[in-house]
Amino acid sequence: MVKRRSGMQWSRVIVRLFLIAVAVAPSAVWFPVYSMRYGKQDKAVTTGTWGGEHVSLEVSENGAAVEFDCAHGQISQPIALNQRGDFDVLGTYSPEHGGPVRRDEPVTSTPARYSGHVLGDTMTLTVGQEKGKVGTFTLTRGARPVLRKCR
């Protein structure tokens, strides 16, 4: 005689199978939930030139070179985006001056924070230093920057 399982017994079988699946593959079930909840940085700013008024950002896989009207900067780490498209990285900011630059002239680099948001091909970039905010800029991927070098 074949014994048939009731609906309640099938529910228990399904629950047990689910628990086994969760135990066997925790990374497949829990890590995506963790990364969505805590904003794991899983995407980077698209490499290439981002240009705007008074700023140029040349992004590589390892960071970026920044050019301003009368300054330049460097970001020496990948610019990772969180799930919302925000980033916040440290770098340097080096003011420049008009006129000729001597070969032996020291370059003054100070720590700077580069933060912002990327939505599609548009980036909002805020640059700050300990002394205060350098500025906020809007850049477009692939656009030619408009720089007016200091004189």
19 with 75, same domain? no
Confidence label for 5 from pLDDT (cuts 50, 70 and 90)? low
117 with 135, same domain? yes
70 with 19, same domain? no
Answer whether residue 75 is part of any domain: yes
Q: Quick one: pLDDT at residue 32? A: 40
Q: Is 119 in contact with 85 (CB distance < 8 Å)?
A: yes
Answer whether residue 13 is part of any domain: yes
Answer whether residue 2 is part of any domain: no
Q: Quick one: pLDDT at residue 136? A: 97
Q: Quick one: pLDDT at residue 9? A: 65
Q: What is the pLDDT of residues 48-77, one digit of tens each?
A: 999 999 999 999 999 999 999 999 999 999
The number of folded domains in the chain is: 2
Q: Quick one: pLDDT at residue 29? A: 37
The full length of the chain comes to 151
20 with 49, same domain? no
Higher pLDDT, 25 or 79: 79
Answer whether residue 22 is part of any domain: yes
29 with 63, same domain? no
Mean pLDDT to the nearest integer, 14-38: 43
Q: What domain range includes position 80? A: 43-141
Q: What is the pLDDT of residues 79-126, one digit of tens each?
A: 999 999 999 999 999 998 887 777 887 778 999 999 999 999 999 999
14 with 70, same domain? no
47 with 34, same domain? no
Answer whether residue 47 is part of any domain: yes
Answer whether residue 85 is part of any domain: yes
Higher pLDDT, 31 or 66: 66
Judged by phi (left if over 0) then psi (alpha if -120 to 50, else beta), residue 15 lies in alpha
CA atoms within 13 A on the CB side of 135: 13
